[in-house]
Amino acid sequence: MSLLEGLAAHYDLFGVRGVLAISSHRLTGHPREITAQPKGITNPIYIRLRTTDASVYRQVILHREYECELPFTPTTIVDAGANIGMVSIYYTHRYPEARVISVEAEASNFEMLCKNAAPYPNIVPVHAALWKSDGFVSVSEPDSGIGAFGKWGFVTHEGNGNKVRAVTMRTLMREANVQSIDLLKIDIEGSEYDLLELDSGILARTRILFMEVHPKPNVNQNTLIEKLKKLGFSLLPHFTTPQGALLVRAIRAV
């Protein structure tokens, strides 16, 4: 993005103060954050300058990427791959009675998640990676091969890297004292393939699934879609995100 494009983007999102903030940040390194509080959001949202935070804010809060009319009101929501909390904030306003369990693996993102979630007692931040087994995994820079980049694209994997606790869906549900999930959102940068292969039993206790299926070498994205159909899910209209992931939305009859 060019300088002029960056200024224009910040003006569109934050007005004149956005232009002043990003200009000062480019020159001095400060401020590092800006706040936004669009209509319908009860508390300021903290956004790091010159990161992908602004793009996530635009897609989730302003463009309502995760908006979908549901036939019931969710009371238990799991936001897996919560990043800095945009989806959790969106859902806590849309479903104020719901408990939102927000899982994020990367340390700096989790710090921002806690900051953004602090005014909302029904959002429960969990610093962990959702994984195929319990233990520890590594967090590394985004993998461009699956369309990941910036602060929203950190990947978890076995081997060397910054370690973080790994939990399965079963462990997460047990520790959160959750028996079933009304709405499960998954955006875990390619790990969704292994997760659903090994934890597919959890989907029998999930009513709505929103999942970003990322492109992966030698793996057909339709594999997961067919698996969801076999598990009794009906697919709602889905689309491709600007980052190349397929945002799948599915509902299971109960």
Model confidence pLDDT, tens digit, residues 153-194: 577 888 888 899 999 889 999 999 999 999 999 887 666 766
Q: Does domain 65-252 have CATH number 3.30.70.20?
A: no
Residue pLDDT, tens place only, 103-143: 999 999 999 999 999 999 999 999 999 888 899 999 987 65
pLDDT in tens, 71-109: 999 999 999 999 999 999 999 999 999 999 999 999 999
Residue 149 has pLDDT above 50, yes or no: no
Question: How does DSSP assign 165-203, residue by residue?
Answer: EEE-HHHHHHHTT-S-EEEEEE--TTTHHHHHHH-HHHH
Whole-structure pTM value? 0.90
pLDDT of 10 strictly over 70: yes
Sorted by where each begins, the domain ranges of the chain are 1-61, 65-252
Give the per-residue pLDDT at 63. Answer: 95
CA-to-CA dists, residue 253 to 33, 58, 143, angstroms: 43, 32, 35
CB of 232 closer than 8 Å to CB of 207:
no
Query: Is residue 208 within 8 Å of residue 235, measured between CB atoms?
Result: no
Taking only the tens place, the pLDDT of each residue in 186-232 is: 887 666 766 666 556 778 889 999 988 877 776 677 777 888 888 88
Helix axes 86-94, 107-117, angle to 10 degrees: 30
Q: Are strands 246-252 and 233-240 parallel, antiparallel or unpaired?
A: antiparallel
pLDDT at 94: 97
As a whole number, the mean pLDDT across the chain is 87
pLDDT band of residue 148 (cuts 50, 70, 90) is: very low
Dihedral (CA of 101, 107, 224, 196) sign: negative
